[in-house]
A and B are shown apart, each in its own frame.
Chain A
Amino acid sequence: MIETPDSNISRRVLVVEKLCKQYRDRLAVDNISFDVRPHEIVGLLGPNGAGKTTTINMILGVLKPTAGSIQIENFDVARQRRRALASTNFAAVYAPLPGNLTVAQNLHYFGLIYDVRGLRERIEVLLEQFDLRRFRDTKCGLLSSGEQTRVTLAKAVLNQPQLLLLDEPTASLDPATAQDVRGMIRRIASEGSGGILWTSHNMYEVQEVCHRVLFLHRGKILLQGDPKTLPEEHGVATLDELFIRLAREPLRQPAEHA
C-alpha cells in the first residue's frame, strides 16, 4: 500500500520552472515545469534521449541550464548551490561508488563531504537498514549488482535528503532484488520528510511505486498524472502501451493533457 502525499500541503521540495537546455544543435530540455512534494514519488518517464538524465543533471548542479530555474527547499541551485545540494542526494546506475573503497569507507567518505553530523551512528543505522552489515569491510567493486545498489541507496540517504533523485535505480537487478529495493525506496518516501524523483523504463514498477508520473519526449512534458488511471484516461490497457504510443506518436497526443 502506497502512502499518498498530502495534496493540501503547500511545501514543495523541488520546484522546476521553465527549464531549458540547449546544446549547440539540439534542444535537450524544452521549457519544462514541475514540482515534487514531501512524501511524493514522482516518476520521470520517456524514451531514450527524452531529456530525463539531462533534467536530473541540471537538478544536481552538474549541468547548467540554458534558461529556467530550479529550487530545492527554496534554495536556488544556480545561486545557492551549496545549500540546495546539502538537502539533496542521488543514486544512478551510471554513478557507482568507488569500487576500490569498502562499504564503510565509502559511507564515511561521502558522509564527511555531505557534512553529516553523528556520522558513525548514522552509518551503523544505514548498514542495518540496508542489510549491509556483513559487507561493511568488503570493497564495493566486489559486490553483486543488487548489493551495490543497496550501498548506493545507503549513500543516497546518508544526509537524510529532502530531495532524492533516483535514475533507474533498479536497472540490472533481478526481479526479487528489484522488489526489495522498491520496498526500501517506498519506506524512504513514507517515513522521511522529503520527496523522490525517479526515472525508470519499467512501467510495472512505476505503477507500483509512483504517485505521479511525467511523460517526457524530445525534452517536453507531454502529459502527467496518476500512473494507475492514466492508461484508462487515454484509452489503452496498460502504462506500457501508453508509453509505447507516446514514444512513437507523440504528436497525436492532445496538447491539453500536457
Chain B
Amino acid sequence: MIATAGTLHVSIHYLVILPVLILFGASLVLLIASAMWRRTVPTAVTTATTLAASLAVLVVTYFQWRCLDKSGPSSTVAHAVVLDGFSVVATAVIALSVAMAALVAHDWAVRENVRGAEYSILALASSAGAVLMTQANDLVVIFLGLEILSLGLYVLVAIDRRKGESAEAALKYFILGGFASAIFIYGAALVYGATGSTNISSVSYFLGSNVVLHPGLLYAGGALLLVGFAFKIAAVPFHMWSPDVYEGAPTPVTGFMASIVKVGAFAALIRVMISGLGTQLATWRPIFWVLIILTTVGGALLALPQRNAKRLLAYSSINHAGFILVGVWAGTVLGNAATLFYLATYAPTVVATFAIVTLMGGLGDERHSLESYRGLARRQPWLGASLAVLLLSQLGAPLTAGFYAKYSVLAAAVDSGGVALALVALLSAAIAASFYLRWTVVLYAEPDDEIDVSRVVVPRGTALVIGVGVGLTLLLGVWPGPLAALAQHATVYFTP
C-alpha cells in the first residue's frame, strides 16, 4: 500500500481475484435477473449459470497455476489477498464442489418443485466467500469471506420453506454461527492489539522479529480465532450444531455445506495457524492435540448409535475434520500438502455421498433412516455399489482416495513426532469403520418386504455427479501420484 498525499494507490492483480469476481458476479446477475424478469427464472437457467461460473473458475485456476509457475506466489490488493499454490488448488476444489452440488440441487428442486433462483444466488455467493477465505491473507478478509460464506448458508439451510425443521436448523445455525463470528472477530482484534496488524504476513513478521514479553493478549487472540474456526469445521466440543443442521437442511444443501465450508475454513485455518502464528507452534500444538483427540474419537463414538443417514454423516464429517486437523497439527510442508490432499479427495466424495442420500430421501426428502437403504444394492446394483465405494472411501479402505487421504495426514503427523496422535486417530477410524460397514451391510442385505421397495429414480445430473465422485474416488485410490504431487507442489508455493 503506497499512500501519497491523501490518495490511495492499490495495485490489483485481477487474475488473483477473478474467481471471487466471477462467482459473485454470477450471483449478482442472477439476483438482478430474477428481480427484473416478470416470471420466475427457470431452474435450468440458474443451474446453467452456476455451472458456467464454476467452470469459468476452473479455467481461471488453470491460468493462475501457469502464472504461479512463471513468477511464483504473490500478494495483491495491499497484501490482503494472495495467489499461491494452496489457494489455487483449494479454489479449484471449491469450484468442482459447487458444480457438482448445483447438479444435485437442480434435480432436487425439480423433484420437490422448489422454484426460483434463490438456491443458485446464495450458493454462488457462499462459494465466493469460501474462495475468498482460501486466498485471504488478512484476518479481516478472512472474516469477510467467512461471513459471506455463512450468510448464504444460513438462508440455504432454510430454503425449503415448507419444512419446519429446516427453519429450526437454520435458526440454530444462525445463532451459533453468529456467536462464532463474533468470537472470531474479537480474536482478530486482540491479535491486532498484540502485533499491530491484522495482515497475516505482518503478524508473522512481527512475531518472527520481536520477542513478545507478555504474550497473554496474543494467546487470548489466537485462542479466540481458533474457537471461531473450530465452530466452522465442527470440531468437538464445538460441534453441537452440526448434526441438527445436517439433518434439518435440505440434503443437497447439506452436501454443498459439508464440502465447501470444510475447504474454505481449513484453508484459512492453515493460513492463520501456519503462516501467521507458525512461530507459536509449540504453544498451539498441545491445544490442537486435545482438540484432535476429542474430535476424532468423539465423532466416531457419537456416530455409533445413529440410525439416520444424515446425522450419521454429520458425525462422520466430524471424525474427518479431526483427521484433517492432524495435517494442520504437523505444521510442516508435508502436513499442509496432506491437508490439501485430504480436502481435495474429501469434497467430491462427500458431495457424491449426499447426492445418493438426496435420491434416497424420496419426495419430501424424509426417508433417511438407515433401514430405508435395506437391499438397495440388490435392487439397483450400480447405485448400491457407488454408495458402498463412497462409504469405503470415507472408512479409509485402500484402493480408494480416502485411504491415501488418511495415510498422508498420518504420515505427516508421524514425521513431526506425533506417533501417539496418529495411533489414536487411526483407532478412531476403526471405530468409525463399524458404522460405515453397518451401512454397507444394510445395502447388501436381503430386501425387506414391508418397506417400500420401489426403485429410486436417478436423474441424469445426479447420476453424473455420483459417477464423477465415485470415479475420482477410485481413480485417486489406484493412482494417487499426480494429485499428491500437485498438493506438494502447491504447498511449495505457499506464501509464508
Q: Do A and B bind each other?
A: no
Residue ranges of B at the interface with A (Cβ–Cβ < 8 Å)? none
